[in-house]
Structure 1
Amino acid sequence: MKLLVFGKTGQVARELQRLAPDAIYLGRDEADLLNPAACAAAIAATDADAVINAAAWTAVDKAEAEEAAATVVNGDAPAAMAQAAAARGLPFLHISTDYVFNGQGTQAFMPDHPTEPLNAYGRSKLAGETGVRAAGGNPLILRTSWVVSAHGANFVKTMLRLGAGRETLNVVADQIGGPTPAAAIARTLITAAKAMIQGAQGGTHHFAGSPDTSWADFARAIMAEANLPCRIHDIPTADYPTPARRPLNSRLDCSALQAAFGIPRPDWRLGLAAIVKELTA
């Protein structure tokens, strides 16, 4: 299986490189997502068997001030990629987010639940989903949440950095979701790509770590795993204002993915142990 991957330095792209080192990885220099036509041209010229888009605008708060640019990267570029992949008859796998939902309630969101983004980032990602589906072909949209790894900027690395120098930290306790190791997302994409090359249908699926937890409880698990004495103090979202409104409910029902591809939800506690071990080795 030969893969063409958009993304080189992001969390999922870094993990894909570990699992599929022979794949072709396109960074911003080779295919800038602010230039959707260039992304489409790369697919038109490839001899790969499947295409994975592991690149995105992930700066949630920055998107509030730069929504037009975020929408090109998260909306127009994936749509152009999907069109080019469909024209070549190639499976196209695209990562999306729980932020396409309104974050209300306490039930896990099903893949077919109505979308209603709360912020510019969510709207840009929803635009990407819409464009990918409209392109036809055989795409897989994989919605995930709370991505963490030993790479880039993410919650685990932030907590370890802050926890090493403070006695206490205030962390939001009323946002609930599933932390998802980037390594598990990479494995899922490769498994799904292999199946789709053999004729499996893509569709819209959810993939998030288990069990669901709060940011505060996740922070406690991080401190415990790293043997840091920093204590976590629960606060409500209202006490931690950000430019972009965050969903309170990020729970995702992942049963359809397991039924279609045999991929269960990963235990984020095992993923966290591996991440902390890598960061502290």
Structure 2
Amino acid sequence: MLAYHLFKNLLFTPISRAVFHPWVRGEQNIPEEGGLIMACNHLSYGETFLVPAMITRRMTFPVKAEIFQQKSIGGRIVGWFLKTVGQVPLDRSGGRASADGLSPVQQVLADGGVVGIFPEGTRSPDGRMYKPKTGVAKMALEAGVPILPVGTVGTEFRKGLFGIPVMKRPGIIFGEPLDFSHLADRSGEMKVLRWVTDEVMAAVQQLTGQEYVDVYATRAKFGELKDKDLTPFVRPRPGGGELPPRPAPRAVESTAGAEQPA
């Protein structure tokens, strides 16, 4: 998409390099072609433009649909920009609407594109890693694409000169792709989706060194755990158990020797 590359190469990449001075490691781990999901931790909104700015491949983020539907002038400008650079709306209302809303994302993967996902679902409230949601696993298994763990550090915004928010030497680390194609036929098993998701986020944690809190970030930011001590929920890593075994095949009752109806 021409608009994407124009905004990226003429605006976001040069500004990011000049203002934030980011460092990047592991870019050789990014496959040069083919459908790919990049799963990233989420410290600030800056990652939504910094990560795409630092890679050569075009990257698509599913963006919550409400952002595309804002009525204010500023909101309409943001919605126009997101549509112009090819980002896709994601319906998070649940049910059939949410399932249908994944179609544009699945099409990007089917076309061999790169999709960026923040499995935690929202920005970390305190710099720690929080429990990931399983959508990343479901998308990967259904699309048959690998997942690339991406770790970001130092991407939080701080007040700079004249109070302008800046990131100070943020870093992006790309891990090695994770292939779960052998589980493609198990995309409907929630325990498998949880195991895959936890393995992905454990790989991200190895890149960032973050402490892991085994609750959803929304509970810590807006729910009953807001401003509470989360120490009891701290774990060494997400998940850690074995891959759930395949369900035993159901026994088929034999009709041999059964009395036949007259």
Question: TM-score, with normalisation over the residues of structure 1?
Answer: 0.31
For the pair shown, the structure with the greater C-alpha radius of gyration is 2
Question: TM-score, with normalisation over the residues of structure 2?
Answer: 0.32
